[in-house]
Amino acid sequence: MNWLPIMILIPFIFAIFVPLIYKLLTPRIHTGWFVLFVPLTLFIYLLRYIPAIAKGKTIHNTVPWIPSAGINYTTYLDGLGLIFGLLITGVGALVILYSIYYMSKHREALHNFYVYLLLFMGAMLGLVFSDNILVLYVFWELTSISSFLLIAYWSQRKKSRQGALKSMLITIFGGLAMLAGFIMLSMMTNTYSIREMITQVDIMTANSLFLPAMILILIGAFTKSAQFPFSTWLPDAMEAPTPISAYLHSATMVKAGIYLVARFTPVFGGSSEWFWIVSGVGMITLLYGSVNAVKQTDLKALLAYSTISQLGLIMSLLGLGSAAMYFGHGDESTMYAVAVLAAIFHLINHSTFKGSLFMVVGIIDHETGTRDIRKLGGLMHLMPISFTLTIIGSFSMAGLPPFNGFLSKELFFTGVLQAAHLNVFNMETFGMLFPVIAWVASVFTFIYCMILVFKTFTGKYQPKRLEKEAHEAPIGMLIPPIILASLVIAIFFFPNVVSKYLLQPAVVAILPDFAQNGGAHVQISAWHGWNTELFMTIGVVALGVFMFIFLKKWIRIYGIFPQALTLDHLYNQGIEKIESISYRLTNRYMTGSIRDYLVYIFTFMILMLGGAIWLLNGISFDSSNDAPINMYEGGLVAGMVIAACTVLFSKSRMTSLIAVGALGYLVSMLFVIFRAPDLALTQLVVETVTTALFLLCFYHLPELSKNIGRMRFKATNLIVSIGVGMVVTIMALSANGTRLFEPISSYFEDSYELAGAKNIVNAILVDFRGFDTMLEISVLCIAGLGVYTLIKLRLTGRDKE
């Protein structure tokens, strides 16, 4: 029995009980202690799979959800999913432990916090283990929603709400684009299962939907992973509590996009579009993030931009690695498979050092009351453990030995250098750009890492500018970053353990061609000889140190860059413009005047009906079946035309009213001539009643607004009314000219035998089609009651006043 589908749901189930625990035990015991047990259990449960997965096994399990639509809750555990699962639960456990000390059990609404966090954790687990793309989408949106709730955790702050809204808009936009891409994928392959799609790659590449589906799915991945130009939500999401920033915005959610790209590499990889979009956007993001991180003065903002930059690095490596798909299996593709390996490796490394850095920044914030670099300084002696942790994290991020960032950065340089030699996808022309951009970005990465360490911990201690007196954090708060930092060092010394048990299976999952040949065996070693990569690193350090020392001299260059061109500004302007344009547009056509709406309705009618009849060649006049016109009919019609014109051109309303009445009586005369006595009788009486009612209305018109005079002339009205008249006339004549079948009236002519009634009209009304009559008298009844209530209600209203 495989428990994986149930294990994924455990966070959701536990989230139900969190408020109960909170209500019962606060403030005696911190709610977090109970929550901690969930990710720990899951982490240990997932650890058990490592040996099996390392041997190349995969585990899948299906629970029916909507079997008739092919949507089933299928979990699929392979190397890639396992790495993410371990990161989510492992970092999750540490973050919860950290939050127990970070979040006060007296002041904070902890039940909300842990419910949102567990929701997010469950959604993330579901995302990485789902094989069904629609289920994956469900979990994807759940992560968006729960991260929205978490960012706005301090919802009384305006900035929190703004940040949450921004991340919501951008990630949901991407999520919807991704859904469209998924639907296109399922249209091409006729399945919702990713594993089955991979077997049908040949069919898909020939399909015209291949490229749109790819682009839409990539938009989803890029928005979630804060790639350029969708990165603008991540720095604003830093308003969340620091445990959340550490968890969501460094280790898990932002990597959902990475996961998606990695997961779909077997489907889309090997095409030049995928290679260029993924690696190109990754490279731009890498450079953009690192350059922007240098100028930040807020520690969390600096880390946010560094996250953007590191995610760009991983993304570009995945793009470069997709070239391996192009070559199939061979020595050449093994070279590019290294890039995929480096991506996964850096993904793990980034989660460890960025998680610990966020936690340390949280500690600094917690113990000094500020995160502003300009106010901090000289904390080295006051907070020695935090200082050590920062050094480990930052130097690893900068890519220095003896930390794991060094290894993955070397592999990254290997990847870009090999990409420069690539001779497919037009790489001969642009290939050299990759190492150059990578190197420049690494220099900036080095600079901001140094800023993070030395501006915070060295220099002069300024106690007057701090809100609290700085001191070391409680040990519980330090344990999680210490664990992460020891991982940072441990991975450096034993990279091949990680490689063998985690990285190789993941590479096999991303590049399934390697599965047959036992996977790509790459030895990661700290010392790999005097090669180009090492010289590049030495160059990064040399230039980085030089630029850091003279930082004050050149930092002013950032001021030159116009504020109007920042992504943040563009986003805000865009939202504002959309709002104001739609406001103005709506104001333009929703005038509130019925006359305008009638013009729209009639114009639409003319265009639709007239256009349809014209385009479909529906105009046909056939007068062969028409009856001859006699003198009475001619006379009556002439009278009706005169009456109708009188209505239009009369000066007083009374004349118009009488003319309308005359028109009604002439119509009843027409009924007489056309031998419809029932209609004639009814028309006479009803016309009398309506004329009387009109007279009543006019009698009560207020004195002031009595508009005596001819109707004002308006060209629009004339054109529209003539158009409607013409369209209706043409349609009536054409309908008369086209007789598709015989009328069914001959059946009703037997009414005496069928209904015992000689009056056919009445027989139809009460017998053949009695249902209509029944509802019509209901209409009458409602009208009568309506008049009654309108008048009576107004009377009572007046009494109250």
Partner 1 sequence: MKKPNDVILHSVTKAAVVIILTFSIDLFFAGHHDPGGGFIGGLGFASALTLLLLAFDIEWVRENIPIDFKVVTASGVLIAVLTGLGSVVFDAPFLSQTFDYFNLPIFGKTELATAVIFDFGVALAVIGTAVTIILSIAEDR
Q: Which residues bind to partner 1, rule: CB under 8 A?
A: 677-678, 681-682, 685-686, 689, 693, 696, 755-759, 761-763, 765-767, 770-771, 773-774, 777-778, 780-781, 783-785, 787-788, 791-792, 795
Distance CA 455, CA 52 (A): 46
* Closer to partner 1 by Cβ: residue 735 or 780: 780
Closest CA relative to residue 336, chosen from 344, 345, 327: 327
Q: First vs last Cα of the chain: how many Å apart?
A: 76
* Closer to partner 1 by Cβ: residue 635 or 784: 784
* Closer to partner 1 by Cβ: residue 319 or 664: 664
Q: Which residues contact 660 (CB under 8 A, 6 or more apart)?
A: 643, 647, 691, 694
Least distance (Å) from partner 1 to the CB of residue 783? 7
Distance CA 19, CA 34 (A): 11
Strand partners, 132: 193
Least distance (Å) from partner 1 to the CB of residue 757? 5
Closest CA relative to residue 242, chosen from 62, 565, 474, 477: 477
Least distance (Å) from partner 1 to the CB of residue 670? 16
* Closer to partner 1 by Cβ: residue 543 or 676: 676
The count of other CB atoms within 10 Å of the CB of residue 565 is 8
* Closer to partner 1 by Cβ: residue 112 or 691: 691
Least distance (Å) from partner 1 to the CB of residue 149? 53
Widest CA span of the chain, in angstroms?
Answer: 115
Long-range contacts of 523-529, Cβ-Cβ distance < 8 Å, separation of 24 or more: 523/496, 523/499, 524/345, 524/407, 524/411, 524/495, 524/496, 524/499, 525/495, 525/496, 526/401, 526/402, 526/406, 526/407, 526/492, 526/493, 526/495, 528/410
Q: Which residues contact 310 (CB under 8 A, 6 or more apart)?
A: 286, 289, 346, 350, 354, 397
| Phi, psi (degrees; rounded to nearest 5) at 49 | -85, -15
* Closer to partner 1 by Cβ: residue 428 or 772: 772
* Closer to partner 1 by Cβ: residue 583 or 788: 788
Least distance (Å) from partner 1 to the CB of residue 668? 12
Least distance (Å) from partner 1 to the CB of residue 680? 8
Least distance (Å) from partner 1 to the CB of residue 751? 10
Q: Which residues contact 198 (CB under 8 A, 6 or more apart)?
A: 266, 267, 512
Least distance (Å) from partner 1 to the CB of residue 746? 20
Least distance (Å) from partner 1 to the CB of residue 682? 5
In three-state secondary structure terms, 249 is: helix
* Closer to partner 1 by Cβ: residue 483 or 672: 672
Least distance (Å) from partner 1 to the CB of residue 789? 9
Least distance (Å) from partner 1 to the CB of residue 677? 4
Distance CA 126, CA 140 (A): 8
Distance CA 285, CA 318 (A): 14
Distance CA 232, CA 567 (A): 6
* Closer to partner 1 by Cβ: residue 619 or 781: 781
Distance CA 503, CA 349 (A): 12
* Closer to partner 1 by Cβ: residue 651 or 769: 769
The count of other CB atoms within 10 Å of the CB of residue 12 is 17
* Closer to partner 1 by Cβ: residue 7 or 763: 763
